[in-house]
Structure 1
């Protein structure tokens, strides 16, 4: 709290005070300056204005004028000091005989005149001390009044801020907040009556009851909140424990944007699809890991399933888990009617569905991955089957039918529950055909994995120039799916091999007078066959080192199968049949080469026939005629001319069809 400071130094003597009166005014009524006391108390702007009014502007003040003024002031001060040192006798004389020039009105009033008591005779030092003491009392009173004013102003500012702050000191405004002090009236309590005391006790007891009731309610609320918080903590712990189990199982956890109840939110998801493995299926296989609100358990939910596809798969009965099934039918009596088909084999896919392994969320993710793979497999099979009409493949009622002569292969997409139910009702079938159906299903799934691998390799190709990009795009456009094609091609190839062996055996039976023992001995000793000899993985340099050509175990499925059969007959003829089955054609190409030994010693240095056919019947007629002709004659020139004339007169000859370049190597013997 700032205090008002008053300069106690006085420039006037007691004599001047008495001469000038109580107000400091001289007897003649002319105001007199109070010297340094008055000048020092003035503000700077007023002091400057006073100096300018007395002495003129500062421009006119010179050093000589200042020196002369200082000298005059010094003389005046010395004169005043001489006047302030009168003797006691002079003072008594002045009091007894005042000067004649002093008017009666100018004399001191009786109240101000000194009394005749001894105390009135004071020295100058005593007078100055009493004066300083009086000034100190005045300063103390002023400070106390300032403190009281600040206190009252702060008290008033609580109710009337404007009135309180107007009289408040700047120091108090700076350090104390306005309105921070308040007051209340204290009334004196009178003697209460018994009724009042009883009423007060009753009110106190009622208030105490309300307080106890409130405390009880608050404690119950706190207890319920603690229990609820404990339950939430246990739910969160259960949720994150399940999340850590998923992370430890090497599942890919990602943030996923989802919309629930019309609001967009960001949840934690898991990738269970095959997009990173090269799959281009519409369903990328992204699921949500959500928390159950009731129990806090973690559960799995599929995301972004197309509504049309989902309704088609579930058939309005909720989510259905469907798998690809393979069934083998056999024609009874060789008829082409579908009503005569007999089910002889079926794949067992239900047993391969992932079962429960202890963690429900992981089991759901594994099952979702399994059924997503089955969906993509059937989608790709249907897409490929639409381009295989020339290979006796048709699509009917959501199923794929592949004709293999007397065997019909059916590929369907059915619910796992229905398959398990039908399997329990069906009678036992041929285990051999069941095994074949399982092998076909396994082959199709492996080929889909290989298709993913090829797509992934295409993505990893380095960028190329624009001129090469067009050729690469054309190559990608010409690339076809290879799921059913290799299966049909190799089945057809094996069937043709069996037909050729049967044809050769039939020719030998005709030549050997139906002697089956002799024919069997010839087929055992002189007949050799090498299947799929164009498979690079069958070469010795790869087989001996347990390596794969180009690191690709499916390279055989990408190539047209080539098999070579060799039959030596009586040391004079060597018949070589090269069978090539194209995956894009419904027929096979058979190259027939016949070499003859002149001496019968096994040196087959003379080629007498090299012709190409596309039907086994033509091969049987040509080879049979050549072998019968070789039996009749031993003359080489006549034999060649006779064979040439026979071919010209109607025997099967080359039909102009040849293998595609690069698919069949020349060194296939």
Structure 2
């Protein structure tokens, strides 16, 4: 019975009407631009797509076989006869080998398989290179024990940094066998001799290794003893510095940037405001353990060899000189000397001596710094600053305060040998030295004053505080010198007025009371004279012989807040009798004025006394 042939039905598109599916496309009517994406979606690639494979696929469909079933059942020959499926199996196997067919849809594509195999190949190549490099490093390290210069160019950089050259070596040992020929006794004696020889060689190797290890231990022990001695010496000197009462703390060495121990030899904790804090590094000598003193200044980056020389060349000290006017010319009559005993060795430790020397010269620098700072506000009072010298003109004398370099080798200049040639040139040496000591003591008082301010409640920083924040150093000294000169001139002026009086008609009495503000009561503070404005009084009492009337004139000579300005207060009162004067009763004020010039005071007193005498004549 014959099977009916397949009947193909085709319906026109207009017969569907509105019920036609919009997404159902006719493959025969698709354009090339629409057909290629659809083929790529189904086949995934055109690489393994050929005319033969398409023809085989069409032939398989005509014979009623599915390509997927053929790909999964290529090994079973029972499903199809050899005559019918021989050609089909051949074409399908070719498609599978080429990467086209059903595996491209369900599994990985040929491109992905290519990339995967490429990655595997690169991995194998990298492993081979690594193993080759490792083998080359091993051989180079093994050869470095014999030929280190040659193996430097072949060994890897990482291995050369982590493993030293010559650390891997090998030796070849050959065994000594007996003679093959000979009798059995000779063989036994030869084997016994070779074993004894091998035992001796082994003992030799052990003895050599033991000696090497012993040498290593002895060297390590000697090195440890040396390090212990160095550390003991270092910490012994550090303990000496600590026992001296110095402040130690940790810091970084500015030269080596290593951790070190620093010492503070400055006066920062004492209230100093100087820009140099006075900090030094106690640098350790790694070979001996000795401690060297290295101040941390602007030039601290110099080498250790020139650090001491540069530090000594920077040392300065303050000197006071007195020039007196002799025969219309100013001659040197006094000069302060350096206190050499303060620079002498106090202990046997060189570090402590260097520390004390640095502290001494730091105080000298701080002193002159504040003197210059204070002298800037006294330019209008005959004070001049020229370089490292402050010149103070006080009528018939000139004071010079200068900062000079310290030269330890020039002992004659330090001891004022050339200045002490005669009595006239050295008459004011003690006065110059006392001025210098006064300035140093006042600087110490300023330190103490700064410390007391830290314990008080802070107040507003006014303009007056800003102008008077510097210490009282030069102003009290200059103020007291000017005050004594003003008092001498006032005494001479009053004596001149008293000498002009008629002793027959009037009697007079003149009293002088220097520093009346200090002698009126017990002095509680020894520095009260230095921090308070000076005040001296002159009292002149006139008595009329005929009428017994009394005139009392009180003159107070003092200064302003800056110590250098002259202030004179004149008070004149009249009394009818001596009893009223003593009791300060029933008196009338005649005059009460303040002056800043002694000539005005003299004219006012002259007018007052003349007026009192004229009333007597009337």
TM-score range, shorter chain: 0.5 to 0.7
User: Is the CA contact 1:350–1:420 (under 8 Å) kept in the aligned structure 2?
Assistant: no
The corresponding residue for 2:418 is: 426
After superposition, give the CA deviation of every residue in 1:551-585 in whole Å (9 maximum; x if it has no partner).
xx545444432221112345743321111212448
Instruction: Report the more deviating stretch, 578-587 or 250-259.
Output: 578-587
Instruction: Report the more deviating stretch, 290-299 or 209-218.
Output: 209-218
Matching of residues 252-271 of structure 1 within 5 Å? 252-261=247-256, 264-271=257-264
1:294 aligns to what SS in structure 2? coil
After superposition, give the CA deviation of every residue in 1:80-123 in whole Å (9 maximum; x if it has no partner).
xxxxxxxxxxxxxxxxxxxxxxxxxxxxxxxxxxxxxxxxxxxx
2:267 aligns to what SS in structure 1? coil
Offset of 1:202 from its aligned partner? Answer: 7.0
Structure 1 residue 493 corresponds to structure 2 residue 483: yes
Query: Within 2, Cα distance between the matches of 1:512 and 1:218?
Result: 118
User: Taking structure 1 as reference, are residues 372 and 586 closer, same or farther at Cα in structure 2, changes over 3 Å only?
Assistant: closer
Matching of residues 261-300 of structure 1 within 5 Å? 261=256, 264-300=257-293
Structure 1 residue 581 corresponds to structure 2 residue 592: no
User: Is the CA contact 1:283–1:305 (under 8 Å) kept in the aligned structure 2?
Assistant: no
Structure 1 residue 332 corresponds to structure 2 residue 326: yes
The corresponding residue for 1:21 is: none
After superposition, give the CA deviation of every residue in 1:229-273 in whole Å (9 maximum; x if it has no partner).
222212211221222222222211111123333xx3221111211
User: Is the CA contact 1:347–1:435 (under 8 Å) kept in the aligned structure 2?
Assistant: yes
After superposition, give the CA deviation of every residue in 1:457-479 in whole Å (9 maximum; x if it has no partner).
3333336xxxxx6x345554243
Structure 1 residue 379 corresponds to structure 2 residue 369: yes
Offset of 1:194 from its aligned partner? Answer: 7.4
Structure 1 residue 529 corresponds to structure 2 residue 519: no
Query: Within 1, Cα distance between the matches of 2:392 and 2:301?
Result: 28
The corresponding residue for 1:566 is: 539
After superposition, give the CA deviation of every residue in 1:124-169 in whole Å (9 maximum; x if it has no partner).
xxxxxxxxxxxxxxxxxxxxxxxxxxxxxxxxxxxxxxxxxxxxxx
Query: Within 2, Cα distance between the matches of 1:301 and 1:275?
Result: 18
The corresponding residue for 2:382 is: 392
Return the match for 2:403 from 397, 403, 413: 413
The corresponding residue for 1:322 is: 316
The corresponding residue for 2:136 is: none
The corresponding residue for 2:432 is: 437
User: Is the CA contact 1:402–1:408 (under 8 Å) kept in the aligned structure 2?
Assistant: yes
The corresponding residue for 2:242 is: 247
The corresponding residue for 1:183 is: none
Offset of 1:597 from its aligned partner? Answer: 4.1
1:278 aligns to what SS in structure 2? coil
The corresponding residue for 1:615 is: 597
Offset of 1:484 from its aligned partner? Answer: 1.1
The corresponding residue for 1:86 is: none
Offset of 1:500 from its aligned partner? Answer: 0.7
User: Taking structure 1 as reference, are residues 266 and 188 closer, same or farther at Cα in structure 2, changes over 3 Å only?
Assistant: closer
User: Taking structure 1 as reference, are residues 217 and 539 closer, same or farther at Cα in structure 2, changes over 3 Å only?
Assistant: farther
Query: Within 1, Cα distance between the matches of 2:573 and 2:468?
Result: 40
Instruction: Report the more deviating stretch, 280-289 or 602-611.
Output: 602-611
The corresponding residue for 1:225 is: 220
Query: Within 1, Cα distance between the matches of 2:353 and 2:316?
Result: 17
1:426 aligns to what SS in structure 2? coil
User: Taking structure 1 as reference, are residues 420 and 408 closer, same or farther at Cα in structure 2, changes over 3 Å only?
Assistant: farther
User: Gaps spanning 5+ residues in structure 2: where?
Assistant: 1-175, 179-183, 545-549
User: Is the CA contact 1:330–1:342 (under 8 Å) kept in the aligned structure 2?
Assistant: yes
Q: Which has the larger radius of gyration?
A: 1
User: Gaps spanning 5+ residues in structure 1: where?
Assistant: 1-186, 335-339, 464-468, 514-520, 639-669
User: Is the CA contact 2:478–2:563 (under 8 Å) kept in the aligned structure 1?
Assistant: no
User: Taking structure 1 as reference, are residues 617 and 322 closer, same or farther at Cα in structure 2, changes over 3 Å only?
Assistant: same
- Count of paired positions: 415
TM-score for both structures, normalised by structure 1: 0.55
